[in-house]
A and B are shown apart, each in its own frame.
Chain A
Amino acid sequence: MSEGLRARITAAKQRGEFTALAAEIPYAGFLGVSLRLDGDVLVGEMPFLPRNVGNAALPALHGGTIAALLELTAAFELLLRTEAPVLPKTISSTFEYLRSGKPQTTFAAAEIVRAGRRVAPVRVHAWQEDRARPIAAATIHFLLGAR
């Protein structure tokens, strides 16, 4: 992914379409996660897949799949808004689970708290039918530009 990544990020920004870039990350493809620009906002999207279920009785999404959607969306927000030449590495993440994830499409959007030279904390939240009713939120610290 490093080869020409910068050029592909630029192209993706121009098209407002990050699905091809996300598809280079195997686990994003495994979860069905795609990313697109909705106006100025980068939105991560995870369609409902039976294998993403964490509680078959309810049913409810696995907390880990929601966490991965949040982490992927936060990382792509950094790729979009900064000049990061490589995928940022996750240092630490704190996830809050606010509502049960229903078996339907889940969305996420992130906000960079501070883009430092080496480290960037990013806040990100996930919702389903109503953006004002988040199902999960996280603060994730990324290491930038580290190989």
Chain B
Amino acid sequence: MDEDERRRQQLAVMTAAFTSHVPHNAALGLQFERADPGDVEVRMAWRPELVGNPDSGVLHGGVLTSLADASCGAAVFLAVVPPRPIATLDLRIEHLRQPRRGHALTCHAVCERITQHIAFVRATIHDGDPDAAVALASASFMIFHGLREPGPAPEVSP
């Protein structure tokens, strides 16, 4: 098995984990193009059900926010060893230009700094030309330690 094939298989395994634990990532069809600690590229194909303006076929802003949130989260998650639960604290997104109808989006997210409890991430989204970003995002994440998980206590099944 050559190096490229090994890499493809590894990305497929990581995409499976990324989508099986996060149903909405699966619903959006997110796939890793690259997945390094603190630095990931995630691809999302254009689909008609993700459109925000039926006249122009432009994807809804919320789709880009989901892509940015998921990509930034993945960059943080892969950078924290051993793995810890994380949660988005805040996320800002700027829509520089409208993504073109029918074009897949790629989000490149880079973790700029990780402290014990907080991670800072920047992300760029493009629709085919990496030099013409359609959106820029920045986000910060909480990193949880010990048994405490973000949000409500999990319900105990009967």
Q: How far is the CA of A87 from the CA of B88 in the complex (A)?
A: 28
A14 CB, nearest partner CB in chain B, Å: 23
Residues of B within 8 A of A55 (CB): 21-22, 85, 150-151
B residues 57-77 with Cβ under 8 Å of A?
Answer: 59-63, 65-70
Interface bits B12-27 vs A (CB < 8 Å: 1, else 0): 0000000011111111
Q: By the criterion CB–CB under 8 Å, are A95 and B92 in contact?
A: yes
Give chain A's interface secondary structure class: mixed
A106 CB, nearest partner CB in chain B, Å: 13
In the complex, the number of residue pairs spanning A and B with C-beta atoms less than 8 Å apart equals 149
Q: How far is the CA of A94 from the CA of B28 in the complex (A)?
A: 22
Give chain B's interface secondary structure class: mixed
A93-B93, A97-B89, A99-B151 are contacts. A87–B53 as well, Cβ < 8 Å? yes
Stretch at the interface among A25-33, A34-42, A111-119: A25-33
Q: By the criterion CB–CB under 8 Å, are B67 and A64 in contact?
A: yes
B65: which of A87, A95, A100 is its contact (CB, 8 Å)?
Answer: A95
List chain B positions with a Cβ less than 8 A from chain A.
Answer: 20-28, 48-55, 59-63, 65-70, 85, 87-95, 98, 149-152, 154
Nearest 5 interchain pairs by C-beta: A100-B151, A64-B66, A68-B62, A62-B24, A27-B60
23 contacts between A and B (CB under 8 A): A25-B51, A26-B49, A27-B49, A27-B50, A27-B62, A52-B27, A53-B23, A55-B21, A55-B150, A56-B23, A58-B152, A62-B25, A63-B65, A63-B69, A64-B69, A65-B24, A65-B62, A67-B69, A71-B60, A71-B65, A93-B65, A97-B89, A102-B151
